[in-house]
Structure 1
Amino acid sequence: MTFEEFVEARLQALLRYAVMLTGDPHTAQDLVQETMIRAQVKWRRIAAASVPEHYVKRMLTNAYIDLHRGSWLRRVVLRAELTDPIGQPPVADHAEASADRDQMWLWLARLPRRQRAALVLRYYESLSDVEIAEVLDCAIGTVRSLISRALATLRTEVVPDLIGGDVR
């Protein structure tokens, strides 16, 4: 498979994944663009991998995790209003679904980056523990720990938000 064929086949899926990680379509586009430039340079090595998409997802995930480790210029975040993760224009009045989605973004944004990435890979990308470990470049036990901690954090933060107070 050539790089061009890979991009044609998987670019939209990688962009949706990046939107789920970042919560912002514009940041996701930048992240995917940067990752695809790096992937093109390393394409021979990537194409030789058993599943090239996992290799590129690992690159994308690492770029997301490292997003704020760069210079101060990269730390300036301009936020546009949240849109649908796949960039679709809004349809008729669906305020409740929109509010639920926005609330989920807020809850996910509270998580550390690796935990958030693990949840997105599990529940949005439907990857197995082994595949997530490959993307995050960690042990399977670490994947399970990341997901467990993320869900525990969400339980302690989401339940009080839903019932309007602290349950501890």
Structure 2
Amino acid sequence: MGGRKQARDAQFQSFFIGRWPRLLRTAFLLTGEQHAAEDLVQTTFEQVYVAWSRVASADDPDTYVRRVMINAHARRHRRRLKEFLAPRSDSPLVPELPDGGDRIAQADDRGALLKALSQLPPRQREAVVLRYWEDLSEGQAAEAMGCSVGAVKSNAAKGIAKLRALPGLAETVTQGGRTR
């Protein structure tokens, strides 16, 4: 019996280590705060560990885990609406992301994007993050959000329209006459 539990724990640990960075980035975009994102991912993995036999046998464990995270975020958001819509000024701009180029410009761009995302209603933010950051199809995003494909299309379109209407974000994207 102990051997099976150890094998199960090792399988979960491998899954956890492989998925943590990507889920943390997604959670950060959903919450707007590093600590809240870490808490959200930790809560997600706690729930996934309890249901690990179902998750491991699922056709797409990543979709299952994203759905758990979206549901956990929605529950937290319903409880503390203001905390999720207005990130604290003392929170770091972004988690460490490995890429090259001008770090200051990237931090400014990310800061502007995160500020813009924080102004979106939760469902629009979820749809935008899942469709354009996670690069999920409309069907995958709908499954993760627990809604119809039409609702994802509508929320994503409304969210993108609001983002495009924000002057600070539009200036960041087209600075210097070039599009990033």
Smaller-chain TM-score range? 0.7 to 0.9
Structure-2 change in CA distance of 1:92 and 1:14 (3 Å): closer
Q: CA deviation at 1:64?
A: 1.6
Cα distance between partner residues in 1 of 2:95 and 2:32 = 8
CA-atom RMSD, angstroms? 2.9
Per-residue Cα deviation, 1:89-136 (whole angstroms, up to 9, x for no partner): xx9984433222211111111101111111111111111111111111
Cα distance between partner residues in 2 of 1:95 and 1:24 = 19
Equivalent runs, 1:29-68 vs 2, <5 Å = 29-68=38-77
**Contact 2:67/2:143 (8 A) holds in 1:** yes
Q: TM-score, normalised by structure 1?
A: 0.80
Cα distance between partner residues in 2 of 1:26 and 1:159 = 26
Q: Which residue of 2 aligns with 1:121?
A: 130
Letter in 2 for 1:106: K
SS in 1 for 2:48: helix
The answer as to 2:97 corresponding to 1:98 is: no
Aligned-pair identity (%) = 36
**4+ residue runs of structure 1 moved beyond 6 angstroms?**
none
| Range 53-62 or range 77-86, more displaced | 77-86
Q: Which residue of 1 aligns with 2:90?
A: 80
**Contact 1:107/1:154 (8 A) holds in 2:** yes
Structure 2: runs of 5 or more not aligned: 1-7, 172-180
| Range 94-103 or range 20-29, more displaced | 94-103
Letter in 1 for 2:94: D
Per-residue Cα deviation, 1:48-91 (whole angstroms, up to 9, x for no partner): 2210111111111122222232379x88x755342433367xx9
Aligned residue-pair number = 159
Q: TM-score, normalised by structure 2?
A: 0.75
Letter in 2 for 1:156: A
**Contact 1:25/1:87 (8 A) holds in 2:** no
Cα distance between partner residues in 1 of 2:19 and 2:113 = 26
Cα distance between partner residues in 2 of 1:93 and 1:128 = 31
Q: Which residue of 1 aligns with 2:139?
A: 130
**Contact 2:113/2:169 (8 A) holds in 1:** no
